[in-house]
Amino acid sequence: MLGRNGRMVLICIFIPFWLVAQSEQDIKLSGEYYWGEGEHKSEEQARNLALQDMLFKIQVTVSSEVMTKEEQVDERYTEEARSLVRASTTLSLQGVDFLTKSRKGNRVVIAYISKENYRKSIAAVSAEISGLVKSIEVDEQRLGLGNLIENYYLAYLRAFQCPEPIQYTTLSGQQYPNVQMFLKNKIETWLTGLTVTPGKIIVDASIPMMTIPVNVSDQGKPASKIIAKLNTTDAAEMEVIDGKVQFFRYLLPSAMHENLDVILAVNLDRQKTWEDLYQLHESFKITQPKKIELDYSGLVRLGFNVYPQVSGALLFKPVYTNLSVADLVWDFGDGETSSQQNPLHKYVDQNDHIVTLTFNNNQDLTLSKRVSPDGKTAEIVKEEKPPVSKVQESTPVAEEKKPWSPSYASPVLADLANCQSYQDLAGKLEHFKKQHKLIYGKADTFVKPENCYIFIIHPQSKTVVAVLDKGKGERLNLKTGEIITDLSAQYRGMISIYTEVY
């Protein structure tokens, strides 16, 4: 700038540091912002740390607000709110800004967003997810659920990005206080409807290893978009291709039959999805167990050989293929037994004896042979029982009624059914819910309440009076064995807690 005398005058404008500090104080103390702070030699790293700190503080604040809301509404409106909040680090927020300064050679960055912009971001995410689900619903009517299950699952994962429940109204007009509940029911219903059938098992005893082929079908057609796993410690997660999957077990059977669960889940291809959604998939995967029965009777062979000794004793040796043997029990037919692998036994008489060998303390793994004194054997042919005489028929003996012995589909259900008081039951329900092993609420919480167990609570004594099995109309009281035909009449005025265990 030129002065009056024509000389160049340099004017320096100083911005006092206290103006920046004042702005920082406004952000931190006004209560109108969410903010976080990060410090690093690299400004980029400092920004990332500041964002992480800000998101953590948002989580803490929103978690407190959501949990307060939960206490004021029916529990069926909630779906692991704290888990939703933990997942909100993947949320894309609009309107985030930064302040930067130096301190002791490092860059200090403050990331902040106004609460108004935060609410706008949440509203935008909610609208986007609701619109996405509505669009998928329209396609479902045209294509069928099986063709769109991956899209439903992606929408379910996207819903974890919003730490507050998203209200949703279906095309049929049914309202859901949380869109995740709607999506979860969709996926679980589809997984429940899949059919799992084992094929012919192949055994390689030299490794040892079993190959278990399994077919997965969706209403008679090969299922796709599925991953499956056996509920065994040595199992790997396998992809179902054209409705077929093979499981490998590095052991041999120990019985003729075995019941296992095949755990099904939606297959999320990492190459086709965003990294943050794949991480959510690993944390919040929806699974459904399917029981299969493996029949090894065509693979396992049992027998034993007998070798006469010079001493007059007989040496017994077991013979078996494709069987893992933990213990043996020999019954020599003369009152003597042995658990040795290859026992020696000497009879005191010269009669034939029926020798029985049992593997693994399992009656299905038992065989008997008639053994002569010289060691020759003959297979035992099962003798027909003699017909009941007319006198016996005319005087039937009253059959003794056995006491009811409850049977539960899973350890989780058995643990819940043992609860005597409502307080104990409520604590365990919440515990297993946090572990993603069940959800619970009122009947209208669920798309298919017939897939739920029902816990009946007496309102005065606060005791658990019944545990009802799944079913439509009639239900079995698992505590007593009684068939309940009219729930409303039988348990009028009592509290019903519907629980879906998975």
**Among all chains, which residue has been given the structure tokens 């659920």?**
145
Question: CB of 354 within 8 A of CB of 370?
Answer: yes
Residue whose C-alpha is closest to residue 186's, from 174, 203, 204: 174
Tell me what pLDDT residue 130 has.
94
Q: How far is CA 305 from CA 67, 92, 339, in A?
A: 70, 73, 16
Does residue 9 belong to any structural domain of this protein?
no
Q: Is the pTM of this model over 0.75?
A: no
Q: 308 and 290: one domain?
A: no
pLDDT, residue 73, reads 43
CA pair distance 155, 177, nearest whole angstrom = 16
Q: Which two tokens stand for residue 134?
A: 């509505």
d(CA 130, CA 223): 27
CA-to-CA distance for 200 and 491, rounded, in angstroms?
Answer: 48
Examine the fold and report which residue of 117, 140, 171 is the final residue of a domain before the chain moves on: 117
Backbone conformation region of residue 18, classed left if phi is above 0, alpha if psi is from -120 to 50, else beta: alpha
**Banded pLDDT at 65 (limits 50, 70, 90):** low
Q: Is residue 176 part of a domain?
A: no
Please report whether residue 287 resides in a domain: yes
- Could you tell me the sign of the dihedral formed by the alpha carbons of 122, 125, 129, 131, in that order? positive
Spatial distance between the Cα atoms of 13 and 15, rounded to a whole number of angstroms = 7
Asked whether residue 375 falls in the same domain as residue 334, the answer is yes
Same domain, 50 and 68: yes
> 247 with 327, same domain?
no
Evaluate if residue 384 carries a pLDDT over 70: no
Residue 183 belongs to a domain: no
Looking at the domain assignment, is residue 398 inside a domain? no
Residue that is last in its domain, among 117, 133, 161: 117
What is the arithmetic mean of pLDDT over 399-414? 75
Q: At 100, which CATH number?
A: 3.10.28.20
| Same domain? 277 vs 202 | yes
In a domain, 146, yes or no: no
pLDDT digit string, tens, across residues 416-468: 998 988 888 988 998 888 888 889 988 888 888 888 999 999 877 788 999 99
The burial of 53, by beta-carbon neighbours within 10 Å (0-12 exposed, 13-18 middle, 19 or more buried), is given as middle
CA angle 397–398–403, rounded 5-degree value: 135
Structural domain contains residue 337: yes
Segment 113-127 shows an average pLDDT of 91
Question: Nearest CA to 219 among 260, 185, 191, 261?
Answer: 191
CATH number, residue 361: 2.60.40.10
Let me know whether 276 and 351 are in one domain: no
Within this chain, do residues 358 and 423 fall inside the same structural domain, yes or no? no
Which of 276, 295, 314 is the last residue before a domain boundary?
A: 295
Instruction: Check residue 368 and give its pLDDT.
Output: 95
- What is the predicted pLDDT for the residue at 458? 84
Cα–Cα distances (Å) from 179 to 128, 146, 185, 235, 299, in that order, read 12, 19, 10, 33, 49
User: Do 492 and 459 share a structural domain?
Assistant: yes
Number of folded domains that form the chain: 4
User: What is the C-alpha to C-alpha distance for residues 179 and 131, in angstroms, rounded to an integer?
Assistant: 11
Is the predicted pLDDT of residue 17 greater than 70, yes or no? Answer: no
Q: Where residue 210 sits, what CATH number does that domain have?
A: 2.60.40
From residue 326, alpha-carbon distances to 211, 270, 358, 360 in Å are: 22, 43, 11, 6
Q: Using one digit for the tens of pLDDT, what is the confidence trace for 266-302?
A: 999 888 887 778 878 887 889 999 999 999 999 999 9
Percent of the chain residues topping a pLDDT of 90: 52
Q: How many residues does the chain have?
A: 502
For residue 321, the enclosing domain spans 301-379
Average pLDDT over residues 365-385: 83
Query: Of residues 41 and 402, which shows the higher confidence score?
Result: 41
Same domain, 289 and 223: yes
Taking only the tens place, the pLDDT of each residue in 149-165 is 999 999 998 887 777 77
Is the pLDDT score of 330 beyond 90? yes
Report yes or no on 436 lying in a domain. yes
Residue 14 has pLDDT above 50, yes or no: no
pLDDT at 492 exceeding the cut of 50 = yes
- The whole-number pLDDT of residue 69 equals 52
